[in-house]
A and B are shown apart, each in its own frame.
Chain A
Amino acid sequence: MMSVEIAAAPVGVKASSPGSRTKKKILGLIAGGVIAVLVSALVWLMAVAMPSKTDGPFTFLENICVWLYDTPVSVGIRESALLFPAIEGIHLLGIGLSVGMLCWFDLRLLGLAMKDEPVSKVWSRVMPAAFTGFVLMFITGGLLFWAEAATAYHSVHFWIKIGLIVLAGVNAGYFEMTTHKHVAEWDTAPVLPVRARMAGLFSLLLWTAVIITGRTMAYSF
């Protein structure tokens, strides 16, 4: 897939030479194009080929969602002319701060960006902002769910999104507890261990997919 073809190219390219910058730009555009095609295919699959409504077997959860949906806060957010757009606006911009920042660490793990910087350095620069972004995302996301709990319960896209977030969390947790502990051994290695590269790739793919399902969810509500 896309990762393979673009991962192979920048190896050995010196960041400083002027010719490589055009090369990088072209590679960036190709990567953008490939991602665009992949995203389109995924959205098409989710919008057309897949049912968007579900009758989940979890009556217990459904009852909680319906109860949440009827609370004054939920009604207030849902019916407010400004509150819902404002929260959703912050949620959207939070993507830039959370996934937008985290993606540089993932790209560093894959060896696609900032190859001449040690991994730990990129980590310490990206993480404070990304962490803030994720906190912001979870708070605003929680409020949006609160406002639309009963609708979200019946949305297939919502469940896929939650599943993907859990997977992304597991991926990050596993990386933190095993591979990242030995960061000193491969901090400046020209090619990072497969486990580190895989963690970066999965993180990138999963968070992209989370954004996609977040968007398709809104179309199937």
Chain B
Amino acid sequence: MPSLLPLFQWANNLPIADWVRNSTWIFPAAETVHIVALAVLFGAILFVDLQLLGFVRRDTSVSHLEKELRPWTFSSLIVILVTGALLFSSEAMKLYISAPFQIKIVMLFLAIAFNYTIHRKVIGTETVRLGPAWGKVTAVVSIALWLSVGLAGRAIGFF
């Protein structure tokens, strides 16, 4: 596998990276927006998944709820990715050797891919045809993936 080092170096040398590094407040601000958007994204995902698990009274179809929340999930994800890229570029070289960061990115790709493929497909399919167990498995996998992204993200600051 080719090394990803050039990509990290490129990000590290971007003008925008210097801009973030040379300011006292852009990094905290970007990180704060990152976390506020995280609340919205995790909330939307949990809302749907907790319904799938049957923890909350199911009086509307989950697919209807998921469709309703889609614009919020999507826009908060965009905000998270943009602020995340900003944070990343400012300390790309530090992150290149960070194990939690590597875990986080892998989990993030998995989580996004899972959310827009299997997760969406299972929710869109009627439970009669699929059986409720699959919905629950999907919900557990989804929650586990997103939680690992969040925990690994927090771990970057500590390890």
Residues of A within 8 A of B (CB): 15, 21, 24-25, 27-29, 31-32, 35-36, 39-40, 43-44, 47-48, 84-85, 88-89, 92-93, 95-97, 99-104, 107, 113-114, 117, 121, 124-126, 128-129, 208, 211-212, 215-216, 219
Contact = CB atoms under 8 A, between A and B. Distances in A.
B114 interface: no
A101 B78 contact: no
Interface string B108-151: 00000000000000000000000000000000000000010011
Nearest to A220: B28
B69 interface: yes
Contacts of A96: 38-39, 41-43, 45-46, 150
Given A32-B75, A36-B33, A93 B147 contact: yes
B71 A27 contact: yes
A27 to B, nearest CB: 7
Contact of A114 (B32, B55, B68): B68
Which of B30, B36, B68, B155 has the most A CB atoms < 10 Å from its CB?
B36
Contacts of B72: 28, 107, 113
B93 interface: no
Interface residues on B, range: 35 or more
Contacts of A93: 42, 147, 150-151
Binding site of B, secondary structure by majority: helix, strand, loop or mixed? Answer: helix
Which of A85, A92, A96, A219 has the most B CB atoms < 10 Å from its CB?
A96
A21 B39 contact: no
A31 B25 contact: no
Contacts of A39: 29, 32-33, 36
Interface of B: 24-26, 28-33, 35-47, 50-51, 55-57, 59-60, 65, 68-72, 74-76, 78-79, 83, 147, 150-151, 154-155, 157-159
Given A39-B36, A95-B35, A129 B29 contact: no
Nearest to A41: B29
Top 5 closest A-B pairs, CB basis? A100-B43, A96-B42, A28-B75, A24-B71, A40-B29
A211 B151 CA distance: 17
A211 B155 contact: no
B56 A128 contact: yes
B91 to A, nearest CB: 15
Given A21-B71, A25-B71, A44-B25, A211 B46 contact: no
Contact of B24 (A15, A21, A47, A92): A47
B75 A29 contact: yes
A117 B40 contact: no
Given A25-B71, A96-B39, 15 more contacts: A32-B79, A85-B159, A89-B150, A89-B154, A92-B35, A96-B41, A96-B150, A97-B46, A101-B46, A125-B51, A125-B57, A129-B46, A129-B56, A215-B28, A216-B28
Which of B31, B41, B42 has the most A CB atoms < 10 Å from its CB?
B42
B38 to A, nearest CB: 7
Contacts of A85: 154-155, 157-159
A6 to B, nearest CB: 11
A136 to B, nearest CB: 12
A26 to B, nearest CB: 9
Which of A21, A85, A93, A102 has the most B CB atoms < 10 Å from its CB?
A93
11 contacts: A24-B71, A32-B75, A39-B29, A39-B36, A89-B151, A95-B35, A99-B39, A113-B68, A211-B36, A211-B39, A215-B31
